[in-house]
Amino acid sequence: MKVLVAVKRVIDYNVKIRVKPDHSDVDLTNVKMAMNPFCEIAVEEAVRLKERGVATEVVAVTVGPKAAQEQLRTALALGADRAIHVETDERVESLGAAKALAKLVAEEQPGLVILGKQAIDTDNNQTGQMLAALTGLPQGTFASEVKVEGEKLQVTREVDGGLQTVELSLPAIVTTDLRLNEPRYAKLPDIMKAKKKPLDVKTPADLGVEVASKVKLLKVEPPAERQGGVKVGSVDELIDKLKNEAKVL
């Protein structure tokens, strides 16, 4: 079966972000960007399914600005066969992205779609679930284990109290949790080969969807700073401070 993997270009997870002085947004100029960590896990899982002979083709897709093609090339270097870029400069949030992805699902007819559980910029955790709703497919969110059993998919999900296993009919939508796998690194020869793999560019208009967000971003502020703390010299001093100063014991 064909596997579709959605990836997102986000700020590198190690970067300490800065809010713009006018509080309009986070400042992304000259900041290192990368593939969202959960999307790396999604690509890895798709590639492993191909290596096990379960998947026949892996198609990486993204919705976003032209620069997001770097992340598609990364996915190709990691083992995806081809890529589709839905190019837009609009501020796209989950519903818009899910609508574009739903059109690609209708065109490509994959047996499985894998996304990350959340992007580390907006922290929304919505797109996979929304895509499942729009395509009418079942969803296996926060997956830590995925097993294809014939026409069914067994997904072990990380839930608040522990683990939950569900069985889904295929095709299905899966979103990855951190513990699904350990993503590989792209090797130099694969990075070179990835440059020759096909990458289609479409626009939201080609797909007949509106991707601009309907939620207005009014303001972005830095979080309240914590007061600078003190270092204590001993366990006794710590207990004393917690009892008499902080009054939490």
Considering only residues 127 through 146, tell me which ones interact with another protein, judged by CB under 8 A. Answer: 127-134, 137-142, 144
Binding span for another protein by CB under 8 A among 74-82, 83-91, 183-191, 239-247: 239-247
Amino acid at 50: K
Burial 210-231 (b: 16+ CB within 10 A, else e): ebeeeeeeeeeeeeeeeeeeee
Helices marked H in 117-157: 127-135
107-126 positions binding another protein, by CB under 8 A: 117-118, 120-126
Q: Cis before residue 21, ω within 30 degrees of 0?
A: no
114 near 105, Cβ under 8 Å? no
Burial 161-187 (b: 16+ CB within 10 A, else e): eeeeeeebebbbbbbbbeebbebeebe
* Binding flag, residue 33, another protein (CB under 8 A): no
- Site for another protein (CB under 8 A): which residue of 21, 53, 150, 229? 229
Give the CB-side neighbour count of residue 88, counting CA atoms within 13 A: 22
Closest distance between another protein and the C-beta of residue 204, in Å? 16
Residues touching another protein: how many (CB under 8 A)?
81
* Binding flag, residue 244, another protein (CB under 8 A): no
- Site for another protein (CB under 8 A): which residue of 192, 201, 212, 249? 249
* Binding flag, residue 188, another protein (CB under 8 A): no
205-224 positions binding another protein, by CB under 8 A: 213-223
**E strand or H helix at 113, and its extent?**
strand 112-116
* Binding flag, residue 65, another protein (CB under 8 A): no
* Binding flag, residue 184, another protein (CB under 8 A): no
Cα 77 to Cα 50: distance, rounded to the nearest angstrom: 14
Closest distance between another protein and the C-beta of residue 96, in Å? 9
Binding span for another protein by CB under 8 A among 50-58, 63-71, 161-169, 199-207: 161-169
Name which of 121 and 190 has its Cβ closer to another protein. 121
- Site for another protein (CB under 8 A): which residue of 31, 67, 106, 159? 159
